[in-house]
Every structure is written in structure tokens, then in C-alpha cells.
């Protein structure tokens, strides 16, 4: 979270998703400070007043209450502002130590509170936390601007930057990164332009917060209520009971409630036999936020695209995409779009072949209709079962939650890196079903703490993500306290079984977790996952493939009752089927990534002229050759949280870019012996420990010996035939 705080100081938006005129800013800050004085006094009774006494300064949730957040956050902003003013007004000549390093030390209180509040708001939020987020958004934006647009502070940063010849390594990287951040935030603009930037940042912060709050509201507004149990044919008794419990909790006693998850495609569609219910579920998902219920995100989509385009042009860039990708590995929107568009012909060809198989299945069962989006997953499972004689429910019996965690994810990380996870029941958490582990290195030394918040709950945002309560830093003497979130539905009683995708996601998020856990840098701004968007997903995607390593799979894929390993016949089917429907999976992703660029390569005038979001989206998909009715984008505009509420605007392509790195790296590691401590140590030394202390491509070359190629990606996704020598 420390990185997020420094990011505010250079004009970014404060989020926990990955993952935010001088007189005008002062007026906002003074208002906040006045509200603080009038509202709640911040004193020693507030648990945020001092660092937590728990191991590694983990938050003490046995003491933290909602009413503690606001006064602590306001006090944190006030304290941080005073620290920054002291640095900016230092009478001594600017040096690396008295300017850059002091900035790194500043903001301890704000960082301490923000890391807890925003994590809890995303993982266990409610109406109170969402309201406070909305209230804080403009204040946090103004606070960030008061730092990044402070002329005295920037003059000192610039002086250190211009005299950086004596610096090297991490210190040089930090100076260059800090200077670039100030410039990209508008530090060199005139006062009139700075005023416009401040106003835009304030509105952007409020709108992205509103978009995220709206998604929570839409989840309730678009819940599908089913009256008759018979309409749920195809679901297991356990799944039906979960829907009944959800309905009761929502005030629909005796009925069944199907909640909508974050993507367009809904997992339940692969099992529901009733076509009418499938259509209801899909439409509830695909049309949310379009004005068909009380909450309408369309105005936010248009305004966010317009504001970002305005900000980019004020800062000297043609479009928001040009601004965002300047500091990425891709370098430009054109390079990222080319990477995506080059894949489209092969992907669409695969989709058409998959569609033909699904239509044939529909026809063979007497279905007098053409496959629609709500049919695809259901009939794809039938095709999968016929082609591979694979029953997804049978496979789940070998993916029991506890075994996946202990004997799968933790085991794989032990085999590759020598680390171990010891559960700590003495450390309080912020919600139910959260586990805390002390992570120990191969030599027994403690690396930090890991929180596993894997189960869904009311108030948790959709998807899966990694964050931190404390980021590693040698300067501050901090060891990492890392958090993984997922949205697995916990069985009401008995064992919880996971799908193939849920297991893969758990390995993925652990990859992010280890990127934070293995961080070994001096300065907090460069720690852990503080890297470009198209690099941050590389270490996590890389870890996914260990799920299917024979040694790992044999260790955890055991029948929940008998403990017997997954039979070789079934395992062979799983391996053969793992790339089934990959054309669909890839196209729905590419469509969303290209849609992201369509919004974020607009001029302000073009963005302002959008009259119909749905029509713009349809035209964008058509323009890019990805408009296939039965395969909608993974995220449609009005619930595309990554780009309209998170930190991935003009950056959703990053998952595919990072997958190129991951596939190439994993293939290389297999050539070097696979799952060995030697290989793990090399990956840790060159990639996972470096954070942003070294150029990402140079990190990759240090590991691999060369830049990556895209061949391994197509092989990984089963979209081409591997070459055989």
C-alpha cells in the first residue's frame, strides 16, 4: 500500500485494485482539517494513532472500528502535508537524502490507515464504507495534487534529478521514477493548466469511486429470483441450497437467488438446463448498468473517457492511451493494439470451429435455435464431455478447498522456493473465513504474513486480487503483510469443491502474493508489485502452470472421501481438455481489451460526442473484427471495473502482454529442469525480489537471457500446434 501513497503524491488515483491553483488545493485541505476538528478528535484512543504492536505491524482488527477510519485518514493527510511542506521549504540545498529519501519516509500515518481502510472496503465493505469512500475521494485527490503540483517540492526533485550522475542502482531508479511521476502529473504546467488538472483529478476520483459503488448496487438490483426449484435442474443439491440460503438472506424466503458475478459470462450458465432461466441470468449480467434498473453507469462511462482525454491533452499527449502506455513495456497504444489484433484471425478461426461443434450438439438434441450467449457455456460442457468424456462435477471431487490450499498451492511454492506457511490463529482478521499464515523462508527466517481471504461474502467486490497491509522496505524496516482475495462460494456444510478455473486463479493470486512477499528493495515506492501494468501480471500468470505440474497435481488432486489420487484416465482427460473452449476465452478477453483502447484513444471532443454507449461499444467491436454475437466481451462498458473503477484504463491488454512473458518463462524453466529449488531461486533473484528497482525488460533478460517471443503463448492456449524437432 506504500506504493499507492507515493503514487498519490505524483498524481495517481489511490485504489486497492492491484490492483489515484495552489490556493484551491489549500482550501480543500483546510476544509478537511476543519471538518476533522469539528467531527471527531484523533488521539491515542484511536488504534491507528501508533503502529500496530502485532507481528510485522499487521492491523489489529480486534480494536479497529468503523468510526476510527475518518479521523485517522484526515489526520494522516494533515500530517503528510506538513511533512511535505517541511521537505519543500528546507533551507538546505536539495540532495537525494533530504528530498527523495525524506519523501519516501513521509506519510506513515496516512499509509497505515489507508492500507487498512481501502482493503477492508473492497473485501468486506458496506453502506458505511462506501459512503466514506465517496466522501474521501475528492479529499484524497486534492491531497495528491497538493504534493505533485507543489512548485517548491518539484524544484527540489528536479534539482536532484539534474544532478543524478553520482547515483546508481536503486537510488538512480527512484530519482528518475519520482521525477518522471511529477512531470506526468503536471508539475511543469502553468497555474491555469494546473487548476484544470486539479479539477479533473477531483472529478475522476469521485466518478471512479461512484462507478465502483454502483457495481455493488447493481449486484443487488440484478439478482435473479427463481420461484420453482425444478427450474434449477442441472445444479447439485448443495448449489441449490446455496441459492435458497441467498434468497432467504435477501428477503425472498422459499425462493432461489442467483447472484451476478463480475464478468459477462456467469459460471452457473454451464450447468442450468432451463434455457429461459439461462437467458434471464445472462441478460441480468450483460445489461446491468444500462438504465434497465435504478443504477445507470452509462453517464459515468462517457464522462470518464472524456475527462481522461482532457487530462492527457493538458499533459501534452494525444490521447489517454498515449499517456498511460508511455511508461509501460508496450510503449504505445499502437504496439499493444497490434499485439491484440495480430491474434484475432487465429482466435476467430478457433471460435468458429468451437461454435460449429456447439451448434451441432444443439441440433443433435433437437434444439430449433441458433446458439446464443446464454447457450454457449451449457452446450460447451456437453461438447467437452463428449469429446473428452469429462464430467466437471467429477473433477471437482478431487479439488477440495483445503487440499488445494495446503497440498497444492503451498506445496508447489515449497518445492519451487523452499518456503512454508504456518497458520496463525492468534492474529485477528476483518471478517469471517479468513486465514492468516506466517511465511518462512527456506532457512527458517520469517518473510512476512499472508492473509488468505478466499471466500465470497456480502460486501466483497467481484473477482480476485492481491493487495497488502504493509509493503516491504529496508528503509522503513518493514516486512510484507500480503492479502489474497477470491470469490469462492463456501459450502453451507461439508467440504467446498473448486472448479478448475478457481484452482488456477488461486495459483495466479499466489504469484502476485509472492511478488510482494519476496520483495527485497530499499525504497517503498519501488517495492513488490509497484511495476508497470503490463509486467505486474507476469509473475502471477507464470505461477498458474504449476497447477498442472505432475508432481504438484498428484499431491493435491485427491478424492475428498477416499484420498485416492485422481485416476490417470481422468487426469489425462483433464490435461487434454484444459485448452478446450480457448478460442472463446481468448476472444472475450481480446474484445474487452480492444474496447478499452477504443475509449482511451479518443480525443476529448470524440469522447464528449458519444451519445449511445451500447452503439459505441457495438461499433468498436465491429471495427476490430471481434463482433461475434455468441461471444460478447468479458466485460461490457457499464461494468468494466478494471478500466472505469480500477487502475487498468488503457491497460487491460496487460494480461495478454504479461502472458507472453509468463508462457515464454515457463517454457524456458521446463527446459532447465522444471520444478526445482535452483530454478525457483533464479526466478526469485532476478524477478520476484526486484520490484521496480530495475527496468522490467532487463529483469526478464537477466532471468531468461533474451527477450520473449510469442510462440509459447499460442502453445499455452492451444491455438497453434507446437513445433516438433
Q: What is the pLDDT of residues 430-457, one digit of tens each?
A: 999 999 999 999 999 999 999 999 999 9
pLDDT at 716: 86
Cβ within 8 Å of residue 409, ≥6 positions away: 506, 507, 510
pLDDT at 674: 96
Asked, colleague to colleague, whether 298-392+581-717 and 399-566 share their fold, the answer is yes
State pLDDT tens for residues 146-202. 999 999 999 999 999 999 999 999 999 999 999 999 999 999 999 999 999 999 999
Radius of gyration (Cα) for the chain, nearest Å?
25
Cβ within 8 Å of residue 384, ≥6 positions away: 390, 392, 577, 580, 581
pLDDT above 60: residue 500:
yes
pLDDT at 20: 25
Fold topology of 298-392+581-717:
1.10.1370
pLDDT at 352: 96
Cβ within 8 Å of residue 311, ≥6 positions away: 197, 200, 201, 204, 320, 323
pLDDT at 492: 85
pLDDT above 60: residue 484:
yes
Average pLDDT rounded to a whole number, residues 509-522? 98
Cβ within 8 Å of residue 301, ≥6 positions away: 599, 613, 637, 638, 640, 644
Residues in a beta bridge with 455: 488
Architecture of domain 399-566: Orthogonal Bundle (1.10)
| Distance between CA atoms of residues 265 and 252, nearest Å | 25
- Kindly list the domain boundaries of the chain, sorted by start residue: 54-187, 220-295, 298-392+581-717, 399-566
* 509 in catalytic set: yes
**Per CATH, is 54-187 categorized as 2.60.120.10?**
no
Q: Quote the pTM value.
A: 0.87
Question: Cell 471431487 appears where?
Answer: 397
- Find the catalytic residue in 306, 354, 509, 537: 509
Average pLDDT rounded to a whole number, residues 218-229? 95
Report the alpha-carbon angle 683-686-690, nearest 5: 115
Mean pLDDT taken over the chain: 92
The confidence band for 485, taking pLDDT boundaries of 50, 70 and 90, is: very high
pLDDT at 40: 64
Percent of the chain residues past pLDDT 70, beyond the cut: 94
Give, in order, the Cα–Cα distances in Å from 699 to each of 180, 278, 511, 664, 706: 20, 46, 17, 14, 10
pLDDT above 60: residue 594:
yes
**Region for 332 from its dihedrals, namely left if φ exceeds 0, alpha if ψ lies in -120 to 50, beta otherwise:** beta
The confidence band for 575, taking pLDDT boundaries of 50, 70 and 90, is: confident
User: Phi, psi (5° rounding) for residue 603?
Assistant: -75, 165
State pLDDT tens for residues 231-289. 999 999 989 999 999 999 999 999 999 999 889 999 999 999 999 999 999 999 999 99
State pLDDT tens for residues 7-58. 444 333 333 334 323 233 333 333 333 333 344 689 999 999 999 999 999 9
Percent of the chain residues past pLDDT 90, beyond the cut: 86
Amino acid at each position: 500500500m506504500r506504493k499507492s501513497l507515493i503514487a498519490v503524491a505524483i498524481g495517481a488515483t489511490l485504489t486497492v485494485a492491484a490492483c489515484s491553483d495552489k490556493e484551491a488545493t489549500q482550501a480543500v485541505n483546510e476544509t478537511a482539517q476543519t471538518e476533522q476538528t469539528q467531527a471527531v478528535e484523533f488521539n491515542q484512543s484511536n488504534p491507528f494513532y501508533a503502529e500496530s504492536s502485532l507481528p510485522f505491524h499487521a492491523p489489529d482488527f480486534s480494536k479497529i472500528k468503523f468510526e476510527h477510519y475518518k479521523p485517522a485518514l484526515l489526520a494522516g493527510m494533515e500530517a503528510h502535508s506538513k511533512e511535505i511542506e517541511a521537505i519543500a521549504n528546507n533551507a538546505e540545498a536539495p540532495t537525494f537524502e533530504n528530498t527523495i529519501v525524506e519523501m519516501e519516509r513521509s506519510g506513515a500515518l496516512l499509509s497505515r490507515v489507508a492500507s487498512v481502510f481501502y482493503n477492508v472496503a473492497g473485501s468486506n465493505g458496506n453502506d458505511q464504507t462506501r459512503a466514506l469512500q465517496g466522501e474521501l475521494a475528492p479529499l484524497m485527490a486534492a491531497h495528491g495534487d497538493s504534493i505533485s503540483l507543489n512548485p517548491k517540492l518539484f524544484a527540489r526533485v528536479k534539482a536532484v534529478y539534474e544532478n543524478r550522475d553520482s547515483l546508481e542502482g536503486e537510488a538512480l531508479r527512484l530519482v528518475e521514477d519520482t521525477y518522471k511521476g511529477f512531470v506526468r502529473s503536471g508539475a511543469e504546467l502553468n497555474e491555469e493548466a494546473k487548476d484544470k488538472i486539479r479539477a479533473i483529478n477531483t472529478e475522476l476520483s469521485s466518478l471512479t469511486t461512484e462507478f465502483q459503488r454502483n457495481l455493488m448496487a447493481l449486484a443487488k438490483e440484478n439478482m435473479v429470483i427463481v420461484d420453482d426449484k425444478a427450474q434449477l435442474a442441472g445444479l447439485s443439491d448443495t448449489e441449490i441450497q446455496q441459492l435458497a440460503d441467498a434468497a432467504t438472506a435477501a428477503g425472498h424466503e422459499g425462493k432461489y437467488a442467483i447472484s451476478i458475478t463480475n464478468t459477462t459470462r456467469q459460471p452457473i450458465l454451464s450447468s442450468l438446463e432451463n434455457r429461459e432461466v439461462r437467458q434471464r441470468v445472462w441478460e441480468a449480467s450483460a445489461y446491468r448498468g444500462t438504465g434497465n434498473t435504478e443504477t445507470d453507469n452509462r453517464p459515468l462511462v462517457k464522462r470518464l473517457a472524456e475527462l481522461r482525454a482532457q487530462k492527457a491533452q493538458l499533459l501534452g499527449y494525444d490521447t489517454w492511451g498515449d499517456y498511460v502506455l508511455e511508461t509501460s513495456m508496450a510503449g504505445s497504444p499502437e504496439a499493444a493494439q497490434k499485439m491484440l489484433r495480430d491474434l484475432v484471425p487465429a482466435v476467430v478461426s478457433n471460435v468458429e470451429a468451437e461454435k460449429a461443434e456447439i451448434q451441432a450438439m444443439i441440433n443433435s438434441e433437437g434444439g430449433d435455435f441458433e446458439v446464443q450467449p446464454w447457450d454457449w457455456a451449457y452446450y460447451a460442457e456437453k461438447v467437452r464431455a463428449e469429446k473428452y468424456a469429462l464430467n466437471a462435477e467429477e473433477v471437482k471431487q478431487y479439488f477440495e478447498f483445503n487440499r488445494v490450499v495446503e497440498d497444492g498451492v503451498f506445496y508447489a511454492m515449497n518445492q519451487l522456493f523452499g518456503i512454508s506457511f504456518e497458520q496463525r490463529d492468534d492474529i485477528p482478521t476483518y471478517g469471517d473465513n479468513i486465514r492468516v499464515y506466517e511465511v518462512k523462508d527456506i532457512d527458517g527466517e520469517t518473510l512476512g504474513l499472508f492473509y488468505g481471504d478466499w471466500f465470497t461474502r456480502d460486501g466483497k467486490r467481484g473477482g480476485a486480487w492481491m493487495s497488502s497491509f504493509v509493503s516491504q522496505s529496508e528503509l522503513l524496516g518493514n516486512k510484507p503483510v500480503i492479502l489474497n482475495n477470491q470469490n469462492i462460494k463456501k459450502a453451507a456444510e461439508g467440504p467446498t469443491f473448486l472448479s478448475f478455473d478457481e484452482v488456477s486463479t488461486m495459483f495466479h493470486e499466489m504469484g502476485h502474493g509472492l511478488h510482494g512477499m519476496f520483495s527485497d528493495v530499499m525504497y517503498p515506492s519501488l517495492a513488490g508489485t509497484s511495476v508497470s501494468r503490463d509486467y505486474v501480471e507476469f509473475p502471477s500468470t507464470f505461477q498458474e502452470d504449476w497447477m498442472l505440474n505432475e508432481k504438484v497435481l498428484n499431491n493435491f488432486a485427491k478424492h475428498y472421501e477416499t484420498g485416492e489420487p485422481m485416476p490417470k484416465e481422468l487426469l489425462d482427460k483433464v490435461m487434454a481438455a484444459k485448452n478446450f473452449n480457448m478460442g472463446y476465452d481468448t476472444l472475450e478477453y481480446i474484445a474487452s481489451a480492444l474496447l478499452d483502447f477504443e475509449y482511451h484513444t479518443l480525443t476529448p471532443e470524440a469522447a464528449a460526442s458519444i451519445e449511445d454507449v451500447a452503439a459505441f461499444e457495438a461499433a468498436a467491436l465491429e471495427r476490430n473484427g471481434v463482433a461475434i454475437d455468441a461471444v460478447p466481451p468479458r466485460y461490457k462498458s457499464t461494468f468494466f471495473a478494471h478500466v472505469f473503477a480500477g487502475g487498468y484504463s488503457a491497460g487491460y491488454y496487460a494480461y495478454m502482454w504479461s502472458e507472453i512473458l509468463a508462457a515464454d518463462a515457463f517454457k524456458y524453466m521446463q527446459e532447465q529442469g522444471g520444478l526445482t529449488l535452483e530454478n525457483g531461486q533464479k526466478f526469485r533473484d532476478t524477478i520476484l525480489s526486484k520490484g521496480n528497482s530495475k527496468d522490467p525488460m532487463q529483469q526478464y533478460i537477466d532471468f531468461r537471457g533474451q527477450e520473449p517471443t510469442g510462440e509459447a503463448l499460442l502453445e499455452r492456449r492451444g491455438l497453434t500446434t507446437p513445433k516438433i524437432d
